[in-house]
Amino acid sequence: MSSQATASAVTAVIPVFDSGATLPETLASVFAQTYVPLRIVVVDDGSTDPLTLQVLDELRGDQRLQVIRQENAGPSAARNAGIAATDGEYFLPLDSDDRISPTYVAEAVAVLEADPQIRLVYSRAELFGRYTGPWRLPDFDWAGFLMHNQIFHAAVFRRADWSAVGGYDETMRRGREDHDFVMRVLGRGGVPHRLDAVHYFYRIGPDGSSVNSSMTREDLIAAHAQILRNNLQTYADHAEDWFTFLFRQHDEIMDLRHRYALLERMRTRFPRAVGMMKAVRGGARRIARLIRSVFEHRGRSSSE
């Protein structure tokens, strides 16, 4: 496909960095969308992995998508590059190891076209990979959102809002850039909308990791400090919500301290006793596993 931009109502933008093993599965979920026309832009953010480079080279002959390559600059820069390469009205950013349901784009666009006050549309989500099951993100409310991201990155939004806030912050390369982007979009007014069905599937790696879990405490502090700097007026507009959340957290901490104060004093005054209790607990668990394995072995033997 030519690199020249062509009009399309919706564009899925998929940044890729050394994720060739999972990219085909992600693309398959996008190809399966019921919404047409749907444009797909894959942005190679400086991959060096041989498998990923091979997959990307093979995709260059696929007329259903466009491949853009750039020096490694992080997910914000990759998403901005993908959006800037097209003139579509709506965008769906999608990581190269996740999946979406076939009707996600169609249902999201229908909501956006029906109500201009809705700034972005997302859905309920599930985990897959190392862990499976519902991803229980809390309902959106400003009190919690000012501290914790309640909306996953793969929400459908308008080009007009992306342009109005200046796109994703390309200085945020260690994570939470999606939280910042959504906050800047919602800070202009309007509301998010969550589809009630599960349309997004978030992969947990073989080691149980995700982007957020791989961030250090220093990374998190730096990211939240940048979010605050980028959204000073929004925090001021929702100051009561913010302090409601902070004092609620304070009350929960004080309650836990009160409940477990005696145990904490025992732990600090008698560390050897605590160590012995842990050893006993570990031994009991090993014995339980041994007993369970014996009964399982007997059960298999009797069934043969």
Considering the domain boundaries, does residue 5 fall inside one? no
Residues 205 and 131 in one domain: yes
Residues 158 and 298 in one domain: no
User: By three-state DSSP, how is residue 89 classified?
Assistant: coil
Residues 134 and 225 in one domain: yes
In the chain, the number of structural domains is 2
Residues 87 and 132 in one domain: yes
Residues 222 and 277 in one domain: no
How many beta carbons lie within 10 A of that of residue 69, not counting itself? 15
- Helical H runs in 115-208? 142-145, 159-165, 177-186
| Higher-confidence position of 8 and 87 | 87
86: which 2 tokens? Answer: 């097209």
* Tens of pLDDT, residues 72-113: 999 999 999 999 999 889 999 999 999 999 999 999 999 999
Check which CATH number belongs to the domain holding 117 and give it. 3.90.550.10
Residues 119 and 268 in one domain: no
Residues 29 and 117 in one domain: yes
Mean pLDDT of 104-130: 95
Inform me whether the pLDDT recorded for 254 exceeds 50. Answer: yes
Q: What is the pTM of this model?
A: 0.78
Residues 232 and 265 in one domain: no
Query: Which residues form the domain of 289?
Result: 261-303
Residue 134: per-residue pLDDT: 93
Spatial contact of 68 and 3, defined as CB atoms under 8 Å apart: yes
Residues 175 and 91 in one domain: yes
Considering the domain boundaries, does residue 272 fall inside one? yes
Give the DSSP H or E segment for 253. Answer: helix 239-259
Considering the domain boundaries, does residue 251 fall inside one? no
Q: What is the DSSP letter of 246?
A: H
Considering the domain boundaries, does residue 3 fall inside one? no
Contacts of 173 (CB under 8 A, 6+ apart): 73, 74, 75, 76
Inform me whether the pLDDT recorded for 215 exceeds 70. Answer: yes
Spatial contact of 95 and 43, defined as CB atoms under 8 Å apart: no
Residues 28 and 100 in one domain: yes
Residues 162 and 99 in one domain: yes
Band (296; pLDDT cuts 50, 70, 90):
low
